[in-house]
Structure 1
Amino acid sequence: MKNKLTIYILIAMVLGIITGYIVHENAAPETISGFSKNIKLLGTIFIRLVKTIIAPLVFSTLVVGIAKLGDLKTVGRVGGKAMLWFVTASLVSLLVGMVLVNYFQPGSYIDLSQADNAGLKDLMGKTSEFSLQKFIEHVVPSSIFEAMATNEILQIVVFSILFGVAAANLGPYSKPVINALDVVAHIILKIVGYVMNFAPFGVFGTLAAVVADKGLSIFSFYFIYFGYFVLGIAVLWVLLCTVGYIILGKRMKGLLKAIANPLLVAFSTTSSEAVFPKLTEELERFGCKKSIVSFILPLGYSFNLDGSMMYMTFASLAIAQAYGIHMPIGEQITMLLVLMLTSKGIAGVPRASLIIVLATCAMFKIPPEGVALILPIDHFCDMFRTGTNVLGNALATTVVSKWEGELQEEGAVELQS
């Protein structure tokens, strides 16, 4: 069924693009607007179904994972290895974007007349979310129920770590609660299978809507910008896969095969959240220890967004180039470090990468309205950066499992309990 689902998703992608193109070329503007709005509901339904199960899945699996890891020392060791990977991968991703944008100068090819000013207004209203106060509020929960209701993954992670550590320290007394949460996690993973059957419809609706609205002609204006960005993503993939092969050996190929389905869904829906439950399941089946997957993967969704990080430096500097603004290397490195800090904990925020770029441009005296220049092509860029985020988190989880000596042979267990 897994291979059939992948085929269905690929067919849905092609049909979505063809349908959207036909509508864009033949329908009146008001008809296109109505079609895009309605067909996009298929993608909205799919993503909302997945989001429904993310909060209980993160909480149950993370608490069980920490409790099974044992003492606080083990939690600290595994967490330390994960953060080492996250910080290194983030810096490399930011540097790849910075080097490529300086070498190829993609911003100089951007057509200033193609700005999407309507889309910019929507983003401008969200930049206040990234003040220092809002950042702290984004990390530290005031209510676990509010955090779950709004899918604030980082807040859920913070509470779950506290809960899991406390449960581990209570020993056998907390075992009934841990066992109950373990059952909850397995039930939710079962629901994942049901929800994923709707994925092809979600993919079809999402792509049909954006192509109907924008048309394929968008690539004629942004071909060079988009092409250099995809080149950057390719470079990042080569680096990640090379490091993965050095650490995992021949199993790197098996990992790519195992996560192919989640990668495809993330790519086509531009939502890494949409594949969180399925990715959890596939990594466990691949041989990663359940407790490590439950601990590392939610952290990765907040701290390890490799594709988004690369795009942030790429887009910010490209906008500066479009306006003819020269930024010395020292200033660019300062921007890189700022992005390193401000980008954490944004996984659940729609179009988070662009919001961060908008805030960063304002901070470095780059016209923030320049974000409107890259908005028309952003959906297609988002497909690639979202897929890269999923690869980075799958690789981080698998590598930490390997470092801990807890990576079992693929097929040794169907799903660990």
Structure 2
Amino acid sequence: MKKFGLATQIFVALVLGIIVGAVFYGNQTAIAYIVPIGDIFIHAIKMIVMPIVIAALVVAVASVGDMKKLGKLGGKTLLYFEIVTTIALGLGLLAANLFHPGSGVDITHLAKGDISAYEQTATATQKNGFAETIVHIVPKNVFESMAQGDLLPIIFFSVLFGLGVAATGDKGKPVLHFFEGVLEAMFWVTNQVMKAAPFGVFALIAVTVAKFGVGTLLPLGKLILVVYGTVVFFAVVVLGINAKLTGTNIFTLIKILKEELILSFTTASSEAVLPNIMKKMEQFGCSKAVVSFVIPTGYTFNLTGSAIYQSLAALFVAQMYHVHMSLTAQITLLFVLMLTSKGMAGVPGASFVVVLATLGSMGLPLEGVALIAGIDRILDMVRTSVNVLGNA
């Protein structure tokens, strides 16, 4: 295996996973032996994320050390995220209007997925509103936030702590060196975990294919094609223009990040590649302070692939139930999505929960989302890759 790069190994694992999944389609007993391999890999990845985010932010902020500089960086970052996410939402609506993926879908033949857990989350989060979202950013117990994998409060704490380290001058230097050591050690751990990536990918893909088979994809094939097409268009054109404006080429970036993009695509987890992206963007020439602040924050606020999916899925459900949405209704939908997508940051299955919350507030049937649940994993794969590329 050493002759082949990680990207090749992951691709081979993906193909093998599809073949094994197809062979054992519907045979849950055989697949049960493969499930733990994928689960172990995802657990190992999640284990790495928190220490890296905390250490990277503390080191970056303590190195910048200036509240004014940091405020400027934060302001620019969030403004950029807001603009790009709004463009992504608008593009999703445009694609749904152009291609009508929901028209002509026979609802009676579609299998319903179980979305009860998502519905509860959507209801709970909707009740929270904007004020509670802001309150949620400040952790009442930083260790509780770490245990829950909640990035927003962790980012807030790490930035404050980093400023504290900088403010204490020489006394803070040993703390800074400690976190620099933690960061280096965690990157070493990441490299070890990534060696197991092909096995994790093989297991995750085999389980997905064995569970759903090809049959479930055919009725919703148009939706899959439109989502994939729009997301690729966004990556090449919108992110391509952004890259050009900053003096780089989107295809150069894709080439540098090919392993991470394949891995995030196959695992449908952007967390799986967070440490490596930070490392590669620094090697590419971005400053440590910018990388350490922008990438973890982007994981919460800059989910462009998810934004395209959310607006497309909402209109898809409307079209499926023959509900005509006027231009005014669609503009309202855009604003509702802008708010709900920010409010759901850090919620498990966030994209799905956002669509549910949005449909509820727009008076569209929630059952429609249950019909997409079966293929959500396939859509999740591509939107995760674009989330990753957008942050880079």
Query: Structure 1 271/2 Cα, relative in aligned 2: closer, same or farther at 3 Å?
Result: farther
The farther-off stretch of 304-313 and 125-134 is 125-134
What is the CA–CA distance in structure 1 between the aligned matches of 2:232 and 2:253, rounded to whole Å?
18
Query: Structure 1 104/85 Cα, relative in aligned 2: closer, same or farther at 3 Å?
Result: same
Structure 1 residue runs of 5 or longer lacking an equivalent are 395-417
The residue number in structure 1 matching 2:24 is 23
The offset of 1:379, in angstroms, is 1.1
What is the CA–CA distance in structure 1 between the aligned matches of 2:312 and 2:159, rounded to whole Å?
34
TM-score of the superposed pair, with normalisation by structure 2: 0.94
* Partner secondary structure for residue 106 of structure 1: coil
Paired letter, 2:176: I
The residue number in structure 1 matching 2:158 is 160
The offset of 1:120, in angstroms, is 2.1
What is the CA–CA distance in structure 2 between the aligned matches of 1:324 and 1:379, rounded to whole Å?
25
* Partner secondary structure for residue 60 of structure 1: helix
The residue number in structure 2 matching 1:204 is 202
The match for 1:180 among 161, 175, 178 is: 178
Paired letter, 2:301: F
C-alpha contact (below 8 Å) 2:113/2:373 kept by paired residues: no
1:99 pairs with 2:94: yes
The residue number in structure 2 matching 1:280 is 278
What is the CA–CA distance in structure 1 between the aligned matches of 2:353 and 2:151, rounded to whole Å?
18
C-alpha contact (below 8 Å) 1:115/1:375 kept by paired residues: no
The 5 Å alignment of 1:203-352 reads: 203-344=201-342, 346=344, 348-352=346-350
What is the CA–CA distance in structure 1 between the aligned matches of 2:368 and 2:218, rounded to whole Å?
19
1:13 pairs with 2:8: no
What is the CA–CA distance in structure 2 between the aligned matches of 1:297 and 1:331, rounded to whole Å?
33
1:111 pairs with 2:93: no
Deviations for 1:182-234, whole angstroms, at most 9, x for unmatched residues?
11011001100000011111111111011111112223211211111111112
TM-score of the superposed pair, with normalisation by structure 1: 0.89
* Partner secondary structure for residue 119 of structure 1: coil
The farther-off stretch of 132-141 and 5-14 is 132-141
The offset of 1:343, in angstroms, is 1.2
1:4 pairs with 2:5: yes
C-alpha contact (below 8 Å) 2:13/2:201 kept by paired residues: yes
1:70 pairs with 2:71: no
1:90 pairs with 2:88: no
Percent identity for Structure 1 against Structure 2: 39
What is the CA–CA distance in structure 1 between the aligned matches of 2:364 and 2:304, rounded to whole Å?
24
The match for 1:189 among 168, 187, 190 is: 187
The farther-off stretch of 238-247 and 324-333 is 238-247
Paired letter, 2:71: G
What is the CA–CA distance in structure 1 between the aligned matches of 2:216 and 2:321, rounded to whole Å?
21
What is the CA–CA distance in structure 1 between the aligned matches of 2:106 and 2:164, rounded to whole Å?
56
Question: How large is the RMSD of aligned CA atoms in angstroms?
Answer: 1.8
Query: Structure 1 266/347 Cα, relative in aligned 2: closer, same or farther at 3 Å?
Result: farther
C-alpha contact (below 8 Å) 1:12/1:201 kept by paired residues: yes
Query: Structure 1 116/14 Cα, relative in aligned 2: closer, same or farther at 3 Å?
Result: same
The offset of 1:392, in angstroms, is 0.4
The farther-off stretch of 135-144 and 100-109 is 135-144
C-alpha contact (below 8 Å) 2:344/2:354 kept by paired residues: no
What is the CA–CA distance in structure 1 between the aligned matches of 2:75 and 2:135, rounded to whole Å?
24
The offset of 1:250, in angstroms, is 4.5
The offset of 1:128, in angstroms, is 2.8
1:52 pairs with 2:50: no
The residue number in structure 2 matching 1:411 is none
C-alpha contact (below 8 Å) 2:125/2:344 kept by paired residues: no
The offset of 1:109, in angstroms, is 3.4
What is the total number of aligned residue pairs between the two structures?
A: 388
